[in-house]
Amino acid sequence: MSSHTFSQLDQLDQLAVAGELLTLLRATGTEPRPDVQLEALTLAVAADLPVLLWGEPGIGKTAALNQLAAALDLPLTTVIASVHEPSDFAGLPILGPDPAEQGVPMAPPDWAVRLVRAGRGLLFLDELSTAPPAVQAALLRLVLERRIGSLQLPPGVRIVAAANPRASAADGWELSPPLANRFVHLQWTHDHEVVVRGLGGTWPRAELPRLDPERLPAAVEFARRAVCTLLAARPALVHRLPSGETRRGGPWPSPRSWEMTLALVAFATAAGSSREVLSLLVRGTVGDGPGLELLAGLDRMDLPDPETLLADPAAAVLPERGDLRQAVLDGVVAAVRKRPEKARWDAAWTLLVRALETGAPDLVVVPATTLASLRRPDWDVPATIEHLAGVVTLSRRADQVAALVAAKAGR
């Protein structure tokens, strides 16, 4: 055997060894680990809503989608939107035997046919922000109606897209408002601890949220009440197209995006998701301003009824968060103002003392001052008020000192 043949065999052996090394490098595991953005992504996927991941190049968007597909046991189909023509999504016209009678069908691409045959899968539309306007227009029907040409994608197919901000995208375009309004927008960032542990061979495990079957009807009712209450009070939020081109390419409120928000609130409630996860999803669907208003409304919906607290102040459980506790105490005082009775007035003082003993003292100053002003001449001052007198006096002295310091500084 010639030396040339030995050299070829040696090269083949080295390629085989290189292949073994590559296999070892690609062999990674997963572990259950709290990951807010990954949980938000899986919840939106469970809700069958199209998701758009925004992040700088190399941040790990594609890797996250590969890991998600593997964890959910869904075949992954990746389509680079920017290298396709509009007809690739709208379908190519194919002449049949009698177009005058049967029309001209629009033939779908091969990847769509494979998804339909599989009946399930994860369709990943990558590089969305580098797709020209004509391609974005062709994607509208795919994202909203799940149709490609004359083909209807099955319910088991989920759609996730990824995009780079225009400043860091190659030949980037702003997303068109109609296309942007069809997505749940999630900002994808890296956690250095996750990256370090992942490069060590262990990544966070993507899991679909565990929905409690017994909570489903209540979750739907809660979501509908929350969204409808906000929009009834703030009709301007029903549809508000941003003025700037960049903001139009992100989340903004419309009847369509509010419907998506309602679904996300219901899913998050049934799954017991954290407020942080829900915040990412809501703000990523209707925008920061409307989303924060909805979240504030959700917090108020969970507050205890002032009448219930006045009926049994000794057993009252007050919120831990300061802003929510303040809202509860203000609501109790407002309830007494609306129906002033001696027993209710005394019960309110008991609640204020309880708030003083279990939270920040400054939260009771304003409610205590207002409640004191509601006293009728024939009402005896309850003994519990002595616990609050010092706090109110100290607060007033602090205000006086602050005013004096401010006046001296202004000279």
- Exposed, middle or buried by CB within 10 Å (0-12, 13-18, 19+), for 295? middle
Three-class secondary structure of residue 352 per DSSP: helix
Do 249 and 181 touch, CB atoms closer than 8 A?
no
> Which pLDDT does position 402 carry in this prediction?
44
Inside any domain, residue 394? yes
Same-domain pairing of 166 and 261: no
Inside any domain, residue 7? no
Same-domain pairing of 71 and 146: yes
Average pLDDT, the chain: 84
Same-domain pairing of 174 and 276: no
Query: Widest CA span of the chain, in angstroms?
Result: 118
Same-domain pairing of 279 and 222: yes
CATH number for the domain that contains residue 159: 3.40.50.300
Alpha carbons 346 and 364: distance in angstroms, whole number: 15
Distances (CA, A) of 122 to 73, 150, 208: 10, 20, 14
Same-domain pairing of 230 and 350: no
Do 330 and 365 touch, CB atoms closer than 8 A?
no
Alpha carbons 4 and 17: distance in angstroms, whole number: 20
Inside any domain, residue 146? yes
Q: Which of 301, 329, 351 is the last residue of a domain?
A: 301
Tokens in use for 178?
Answer: 């109609």
Alpha carbons 119 and 67: distance in angstroms, whole number: 20
Same-domain pairing of 118 and 223: no
Q: What share of the chain is helix, strand, coil (3-state, %, to 5)?
A: 60, 10, 30
Same-domain pairing of 266 and 225: yes
Distances (CA, A) of 197 to 31, 33, 176, 201, 350: 10, 11, 37, 7, 52
Percentage of the chain surpassing pLDDT 70? Answer: 85
Inside any domain, residue 137? yes
Q: Residue 379's CB: how many other CB atoms inside 10 A?
A: 13
> Which pLDDT does position 182 carry in this prediction?
94
Inside any domain, residue 5? no
Tokens in use for 381?
Answer: 């001052």
Per-residue pLDDT tens for 176-199? 899 999 999 999 888 888 888 888
Does pLDDT of 399 surpass 60? no
Three-class secondary structure of residue 123 per DSSP: strand
Give the helix ranges, DSSP H, for 122-185. Answer: 133-145, 177-180
Strand partners, 204: 31
Same-domain pairing of 57 and 161: yes
- Exposed, middle or buried by CB within 10 Å (0-12, 13-18, 19+), for 12? exposed
Containing domain of residue 226, as a range?
213-301
Please tell me the total count of domains within the chain.
3
Provide the b/e sequence for 339-374 (b: ≥16 CB within 10 Å): eeeeebbbbbbbbbbbbbeebeeebbbebbebbeee
Inside any domain, residue 224? yes
Same-domain pairing of 127 and 46: yes
Inside any domain, residue 159? yes
Inside any domain, residue 47? yes
Same-domain pairing of 296 and 330: no
Q: Which of 262, 280, 301 is the last residue of a domain?
A: 301
DSSP H or E segment with residue 50: none
Across 32-41, 258-267, 288-297, 398-407, least confident range: 398-407
Percentage of the chain surpassing pLDDT 90? Answer: 32
Three-class secondary structure of residue 122 per DSSP: strand
Per-residue pLDDT tens for 338-358? 999 999 988 988 888 888 888
Tokens in use for 149?
Answer: 């040409």
Q: Which of 204, 223, 252 is the last residue of a domain?
A: 204
Do 126 and 161 touch, CB atoms closer than 8 A?
yes
Same-domain pairing of 86 and 164: yes
Do 352 and 337 touch, CB atoms closer than 8 A?
no
Same-domain pairing of 297 and 311: no
Per-residue pLDDT band for 383 (boundaries 50, 70, 90) equals: confident
